């Protein structure tokens, strides 16, 4: 491999000749050979947006000339277009402030910009990082990346699933089945009502995610090293947030307390709590679906789901609820991520939290997994759910909990005696009720209508 010599404040470093990064990136690359997890692409894109926004703000405030501003913007656009992919090799497991990833982006922008012009117009620290610190840029990139992935990926996936469930509600109107509580038979429910519960869960989760975005729209940019704004011109924070909003076509504002913005990660914790709620609800929905589809002969068998793959390497003809299993595994991973994020966010010592890379890595993984799982579950399972009307009807009319309909006529205790006798003697509720003398056969038929119990 061919190398070139780059230098930083600690001296010279050999850097691959075909890479745009510089000495500080190379030091981090060599010193943190930990794991396979790299800084997420969403963070790199967020950095490109904020570096372009910072250059625009510096230009508007008279700190940066037009040529350098345009040059930085041009390289940032190349990053956003994916033209410089492969130049951001750093591990998640690096300095907890994300300093080295900030410098990675600074060096790539400077070296690529200087290559474009053939002049040394850009310096990683003095020009690209002007009015900034890693301590305010990394949390800013975290919030930009979070908002963009929520708005562009996760929320559309949630709403697509909601629309699918609404369709299923309409399709299954009028079908009455046995309800279940504690995994035991309960009073009847309409299948459309059961589906509406799933749909409402996702609607509530979408609302919670949107509510959590308020904190994520506050940016740390302008706080520089410790929150005081040292070396940033007056008005930079506001101008930079305005530029980020213009570039993303979304709403961002400057955090009114930069000491909070640098040291606390509560907005991410709060937002991931909404993601955990979504994971919990998806786990419940997926479990409901696989329970209802269990069988085909020895389970509940109340719904059919698409048969996508052979389910066993030894049992011919077996088909498993694989999409449900994938969703539940994703849910467990998100819950684990929530624990990691909460612990990491509690470590904001004095003026800076130094667990930021692991926080945003886990946050973005949760968003990515939930988005993909929702899409896969919707397309490969939920869209193909069909009611087994015959099995639903059989289970409904075989349920002892239909006796609840008799409470107003014979009382709770007599209804309980009726159910227990029917269960013990393996006879119908009607036979038990008449044998015990609580109702005549004619009166039982008059008041006992399971389909009206919903």
Task: Kindly list the catalytic residues.
Answer: 182, 312
Q: Give the separation between CA 281 and CA 330, rounded to whole angstroms.
A: 12
DSSP 218-273: EE-TT-TTTSS-TTS-TTHHHHHHHHHHHHHTS--EE-S-HHHHHH--HHHHHHHH
Q: Give the separation between CA 35 and CA 428, rounded to whole angstroms.
A: 63
Parallel/antiparallel/unpaired status of strands 176-181 and 184-190: antiparallel
Say how many C-beta atoms besides its own lie within 10 A of residue 411's C-beta.
Answer: 12
Question: Which segments within 270-331 are labelled E, that is strand?
Answer: 303-304
3-class secondary structure, 294: coil
Q: Cα 176 to the chain's mean position, in Å? A: 34
Q: Give the separation between CA 142 and CA 106, rounded to whole angstroms.
A: 17
- Determine whether 305 is exposed, middle or buried from the number of CB atoms within 10 Å of its CB (0-12, 13-18, 19+): buried
Q: Kindly give, in sequence order, each residue whose CB lies less than 8 Å from that of residue 95, ignoring residues fewer than 6 positions away.
A: 28, 354
Parallel/antiparallel/unpaired status of strands 218-219 and 253-254: parallel
- Determine whether 30 is exposed, middle or buried from the number of CB atoms within 10 Å of its CB (0-12, 13-18, 19+): exposed
The strand pairing partners of 14, in sequence order, are: 5
451 phi/psi in degrees, rounded to 5: -65, -20
Q: Give the separation between CA 113 and CA 123, rounded to whole angstroms.
A: 10
Q: Helix, strand, coil proportions of the chain in percent (round to 5)?
A: 60, 10, 30
């Amino acid at each position: 491999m061919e190398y070139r010599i780059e230098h930083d404040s600690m001296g010279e470093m050999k850097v691959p000749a075909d890479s745009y990064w510089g000495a500080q990136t190379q030091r981090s690359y060599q010193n943190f050979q930990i794991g396979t997890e790299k800084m997420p692409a969403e963070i790199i894109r967020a950095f490109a947006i904020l570096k372009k926004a910072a250059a625009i703000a510096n230009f508007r405030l008279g700190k940066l000339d037009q040529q350098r501003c345009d040059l930085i913007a041009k390289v940032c656009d190349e990053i956003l277009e994916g033209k410089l992919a492969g130049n951001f090799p750093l591990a998640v497991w690096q300095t907890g402030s994300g300093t080295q990833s900030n410098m990675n982006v600074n060096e790539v922008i400077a070296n690529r910009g200087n290559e474009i012009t053939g002049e040394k117009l850009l310096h990683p620290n003095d020009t690209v990082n002007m009015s900034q610190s890693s301590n305010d840029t990394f949390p800013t990139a975290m919030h930009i990346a979070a908002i963009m992935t929520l708005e562009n990926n996760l929320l559309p996936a949630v709403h697509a699933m909601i629309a699918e469930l609404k369709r299923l509600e309409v399709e299954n109107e009028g079908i009455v089945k046995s309800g279940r509580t504690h995994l035991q038979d309960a009073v009847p429910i309409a299948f459309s009502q059961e589906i509406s519960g799933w749909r409402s869960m996702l609607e509530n989760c979408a609302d919670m995610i949107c509510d959590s975005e308020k904190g994520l729209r506050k940016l740390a940019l302008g706080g520089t090293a410790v929150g005081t704004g040292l070396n940033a011109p007056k008005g930079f924070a506001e101008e930079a947030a305005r530029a980020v909003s213009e570039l993303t076509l979304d709403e961002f504002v400057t955090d009114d307390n930069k000491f909070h913005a640098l040291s606390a990660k509560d907005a991410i914790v709060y937002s991931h709590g909404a993601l955990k709620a979504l994971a919990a609800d998806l786990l419940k929905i997926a479990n409901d679906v696989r329970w209802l589809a269990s069988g085909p002969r020895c389970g509940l068998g109340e719904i059919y789901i698409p048969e996508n793959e052979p389910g066993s390497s030894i049992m011919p003809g077996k088909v498993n609820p694989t999409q449900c299993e994938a969703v539940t595994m994703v849910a467990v991973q998100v819950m684990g991520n929530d624990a990691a994020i909460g612990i990491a966010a509690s470590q904001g010592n004095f003026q800076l939290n130094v667990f930021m890379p692991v926080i945003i890595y886990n946050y973005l993984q949760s968003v990515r997994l939930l988005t993909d799982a929702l899409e896969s579950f919707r397309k490969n399972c939920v869209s193909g759910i069909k009611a087994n009307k015959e099995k639903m009807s059989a289970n409904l009319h075989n349920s002892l909990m239909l006796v609840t309909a008799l409470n107003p006529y014979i009382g709770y205790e007599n209804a309980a005696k009726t159910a227990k006798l029917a269960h013990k003697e393996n006879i119908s509720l009607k036979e038990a009720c008449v044998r015990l003398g609580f109702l005549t056969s004619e009166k039982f038929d008059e008041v006992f209508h399971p389909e009206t119990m919903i």
